[in-house]
Chain A
Amino acid sequence: MGKIENQKAWFFVLPVLFLVAFNALIPLMTVVNYSVQETFGDNTFFWAGLMWFEEVLLSERFHASLMRQMIFTFSILAIEIPLGVAIALTMPRKGPWVPVCLVLMALPLLIPWNVVGAMWNIFALPDIGLLGRTLNAIGFDYNFTRQPGDAWFTMILMDVWHWTSLVVLLAYAGLVSIPDAYYQAAKIDGAKPFAIFRYIQLPKMKRVLTIAVLLRFMDSFMIYTEPFVLTGGGPGNSTTLLSIDLVKIALGQFDLGPAAAMSLIYFLIILAMSWVFYTVMMRNEAK
């Protein structure tokens, strides 16, 4: 029997194509358009080839922001993933406390990003903030608006506070989906608590943890609002992450070409690294 050709099916794809074109492809193409052109105003553009890409890739400023971004992202991953799993392990799996714990955990996730930034900004102010004053009162010379180290400490603490809950909720979902029979089987075998964690809970959480790592990686790599509200990229450029730098170039200096090139490079880095994370974490999974 020959395959029945039905060209009408294409009509059903059209609405989606239309939607994707308007909300993704066309805006992206304008960025691509800017990234290969030069303008001197007046809405006249000249072909610039890969000039902007070369400029961005070779600029020390980009290297520095990228490095800061990497340090930030990997620090929060290194803290949030283990911490999230640890908290999920201590949460009750049945009983009246389950909803209480879940709501408490979800609270930080419900707060708008700029509010989180503003909250932590005030919380950490050395003269009036609870955290800042307390730290100074017990003898630390803490001032996140002046000292880069303190700014970093506050920024990471804020992110951990805001987003560890997401990892907790995902890990918890993975944990409660493990049937009791696994724990019983392990008990019959005489497995120790660490063996249960290592050989049952961790492998069973693998899929959700992969999602957690990917989400946290992508979100933290693109983070803008919270650190911008908290430190504005300062003191100096010490907390200027990639997105903050990008906005400075695009909207502050109005360098459309370099900003467009940087956007595309930024996007490709996230895409490539997400792919690497996913492939590495899923390499042993069945097809």
Chain B
Amino acid sequence: MSLELINVSKRVGVDQHIYPTDLKLDPGCINILLGTTLSGKTTLMQMMAGLDPLTTGSLRFNGQDVTKTAVQKRNVSMVYQQFINYPSFSVFENIASPLRVARVAENEIKRRVGEMAELMKLSAMLDRRPSELSGGQQQRTAMARALVKDADLVLLDEPLANLDFKLREELRDELPRLFADRNCVVVYATTEPVEALLFGGKTATLNEGRVTQFGDTGSIYRAPTDLISAKVFSEPPMNEAAVTKAGETMTLDDGTSWTASGTAASLGDGQYTLGLRPHHVVPAQTGRQPVKVKGVVQVAELSGSESMIHFMLATHSWVSQSHGIHPVEVGEMEEFYADVAEAFYFDASGQRITG
């Protein structure tokens, strides 16, 4: 079982919502669409489902062309950011609704809804209406409805975005388990890199209607192919600065310099963009190749176990993310240690240069 997108694109009037895209999604793991709001995640999903016609390209399911197949005949299910349930139905009837449409026998419906409710921890509230449930329970009902019919393709469009922190954590833990032994293609859209990393599986990074990279989540995080993919998959945002290499010396545009080694050593002389994840810029000296950088602190967020310090490195806004509490004065010039051994280097076109 697999879903293949071949040269799929979407254009509305003069706006290109999705640029031509090729993707092959397999069952067995969660496929994540990672991108900011308006990057095209929802459009792409709706095209996968058949809710939105393609401008160009085709969709293949198990090798069969389904481009023109109506959504009702595709056996897909979808969970939305808003909690979508039939308002006048009880939880039981909500979960049972796809089975009723499919004319499944009554005792079979009872059995499957019961099982699904058990799994989703909804057994105690089968008689209630959606409006009498908490947000988390409403979303679990919507998920139960999506899962009960054994769809071939399950699309989850930011299903946890509208939930509060606690419930989000809870469902995040449950989700991979729910899909573990199901033979269906699962697509999960999110704006949060943390969710992608938690679920593992595969990730496609999306930016302004383009899939910039697709592959194993871990490898995409560790080895982005270009600046845009790296930025999409970084929260807090990746620190950037222009860097010039001359001989063995690397010089940042604020004047900081160090001796090139590792990846940097193999670069030719010239100008590059340096990308460094916030947790590699810390207030106390650690790391393999710390380079001291200085900047005026703009904002300091000290949470229980983590310090997030925003500072200006010349004209660039940088973030330092570190464990522990590191009190700094806002408005003061402070020193940070950048572990440049972890840095990515991108050429003028934004492609990452690997050693």
Contacts and interface: CB of A to CB of B under 8 A. Distances in A.
A187 B51 contact: yes
A187 B88 contact: no
A199 B101 CA distance: 13
Contacts of A191: 101
A179 interface: yes
Contacts, number: 50
A91 B241 CA distance: 53
Nearest to B151: A188
B77 interface: yes
Contacts of A188: 49, 51, 71-72, 76-78
A189 B98 contact: yes
A204 B131 CA distance: 11
Contact of A181 (B71, B84, B131): B84
Nearest to A195: B101
A181 B72 contact: no
A282 to B, nearest CB: 12
A200 interface: yes
Chain B, interface size category, equals 20 to 34
B132 interface: yes
Nearest to B83: A181
Given A184-B46, A286-B131, A199 B71 contact: no
Q: Which of A181, A188, A199, A284 has the most CB of B within 10 A?
A: A188
B78 A199 contact: no
Interface string B64-92: 00000001100011101110101111000
A199 B86 CA distance: 6
B129 interface: yes
Q: Which of A181, A185, A199 has the most CB of B within 10 A?
A: A185
Nearest to B76: A188
B160 to A, nearest CB: 15
B82 A179 contact: yes
Contacts of A189: 72, 97-98, 101
A286 B87 CA distance: 11
Contacts of B46: 184
Interface string A181-211: 1101101111100000001101110000000
A185 B131 contact: no
A60 interface: no
Contacts of B86: 199-200, 203
A187 B84 contact: no
A42 interface: no
A187 B72 CA distance: 7
A182 B132 CA distance: 18
Contacts of A179: 80, 82, 84
A197 to B, nearest CB: 12
Interface of B: 46, 49, 51, 71-72, 76-78, 80-82, 84, 86-89, 97-98, 101, 129, 131-132
Interface of A: 179, 181-182, 184-185, 187-191, 199-200, 202-204, 284-286
Given A181-B80, A188-B51, A203-B88, 17 more contacts: A179-B80, A181-B81, A181-B84, A182-B84, A184-B46, A184-B78, A185-B78, A185-B80, A185-B84, A188-B78, A191-B101, A199-B86, A200-B86, A200-B87, A203-B86, A203-B87, A284-B129
Closest 9 CB pairs of A and B: A190-B72, A203-B87, A203-B88, A181-B80, A286-B131, A286-B132, A185-B84, A181-B84, A190-B101
10 contacts: A181-B81, A181-B84, A185-B80, A187-B51, A187-B72, A188-B78, A199-B86, A200-B86, A202-B88, A203-B88
